[in-house]
Every structure is written in structure tokens, then in C-alpha cells.
Amino acid sequence: MNIDEIDIVKKFQHLVDQEDSIQADALTLLLKKLKIKRGLKVLDFGCGDGRHREAINKSGGKWFGVDLISSPELDSMKKVIGKSVVFDGQILPFKNQSFDLIFSLQVFEHVLNLKTVFGELARVLKIQGKFIGSTSHLEPYHSNSFRSITPYGLEKTMEIAGFKLERIKAGIDCFSLICARIFRNLLPNFLSNLINKIIWSPKGSLLNRIIHFYGRIKKIDKKTLECIKLQFSGHIIFKAKRI
């Protein structure tokens, strides 16, 4: 493969690693970090119903949740249990450098003032603190989403706010997300659920599995293969550092 033929491969090879995985997961990445260093104060930005609280606390973190006063998910969920607060979309109600680590799972595509929010996250995170999460890249419109964020767009937005992007990986692929949406709208529930279990497997979504299998046959190096997955990713997984 001529690396110059694929722009995203050429641009992001320095941000992917040699791990031989089919698909990345932000929560798994976070919990690995917490198990290495326990006692970290973790801000779960966009915590929803607090579903990650137990996993974070059990892994040695100290969970704090924050979410908007109202959102489609939050309005339909149970009250958050634990140390959680509401957010007005502008100013986070925490002092400077309050947290060791920030976690955010599929939130930023729903944020209107992205520059403001990233600036606030940088303010409340300690210098050298880690920022781990995921956001939509090529995912269809959903739940009042404002945007999709490219790997390059994520890197530049982080730089402006005071973060350095350290790692970026492919989450579920866009093909599987698009197909899941089509099947939910056009097929009976039992049939769409059956098909979606095939294309949206915990072991890796369908296109990611195909790319991974092809890469092994062709003996494509792991970094190049990960960047190929990034081109077609519905979600992107990231780790950054506050500088």
C-alpha cells in the first residue's frame, strides 16, 4: 500500500499505537488507567443517569458526574445517584484544576458551544491530567446532535483549548451505525435486533472486523491498519493530556 494515497493514514500514524485490537472502547481505556493509578478524581462529563459511576469507583477512581439541566437522554432516565451536578452549557461549577481525569462518552457531537466547553474542561483538569473519551465521526444524526467531528478537527479543537492529543483509535464503524439506523426504521423489532447483533458485536463491528481480517491476510502493519479503520469510523476514541 502506498501510504501517500491515504491522507488520514499519513496524518495520524503518530497518534495510533501498535495494539492488535479490532475496535477500541473508551470506558475500557479509562478503567485500565484507573487500575494503574488509584484514587484519581474523575469528572464524568455528560454522565446521563450515572451508569459509569459504579465501574469507575470499583476501579479505584472517585466519580463526579455533570450533565446538562435537560437532554433527551437525561429526561427519560432515573435520577443520578452520587456526586452529580447540572451544567448550564457555559461554566462548569468547579474550581480550577479540580480533577485528575476527565471522561466523556459520546457527548461532544451534542454540544453547541464546543470551543467554550473544551476550554472549561481544560480549566477544571489538572496540568498533565488525562482526558479520555469518544465522540461521533461519521455517525448519522441522532438525539439532537449538532455535528460530527473528524480526527483532524478533534486534534485542532483540543490544541486551542490547551490539550495535546496523545492517542486516537477507531470505535464502531460508520457502516454498522448507518445500517442499524436503517434496520430500526424499516424492519420489525425482532428482525432488526437480530441483524444488529451480528453487525454490532462486542468483539468489533462488521466493517472493523472485515478490515482487521483483510489487514492480517495482507500483512499490513498495525498502525496503518488502525488509520484505515479511522477513515470509516462512526465513533473515534481518544486520549489527551492537559498541557
Homologous superfamily, domain 3-242: Vaccinia Virus protein VP39 (3.40.50.150)
pLDDT over 70 percentage in the chain = 90
pLDDT, average across residues 214-226:
92
pLDDT, average across residues 9-14:
79
pLDDT over threshold 60, residue 74: no
Lowest mean pLDDT among 70-74, 162-166, 168-172: 70-74
Nearest to 67, CA basis, from 30, 105, 11, 99: 105
Convert 141-177 to b/e letters by CB count within 10 Å (16 or more is b).
Answer: eeeeeeebbebeebbebbeebbbebebbbbbbbbbbb
pLDDT, average across residues 194-220:
90
pLDDT, average across residues 19-40:
91
pLDDT reported for residue 159? 97
**Under DSSP, is residue 45 helix (H, G, I), strand (E, B) or coil?**
strand
State pLDDT tens for residues 76-91.
444 444 455 777 778 9
Where exactly are the structural domains of the chain? Answer: 3-242
pLDDT reported for residue 76? 46
Lowest mean pLDDT among 1-5, 157-161, 199-203, 219-223: 1-5
pLDDT reported for residue 84? 58
DSSP 8-state class, residue 202: T
pLDDT over 90 percentage in the chain = 66
Residue carrying the nine cell digits 465501574? 55
Q: Tell me the sheet residues that pair with 54.
A: none
Lowest mean pLDDT among 79-88, 111-120, 205-214, 226-235: 79-88
Please answer whether residues 232 and 179 qualify as being in contact, where contact means their C-beta atoms are separated by less than 8 angstroms: no
State pLDDT tens for residues 111-133.
989 999 999 999 999 999 999 99
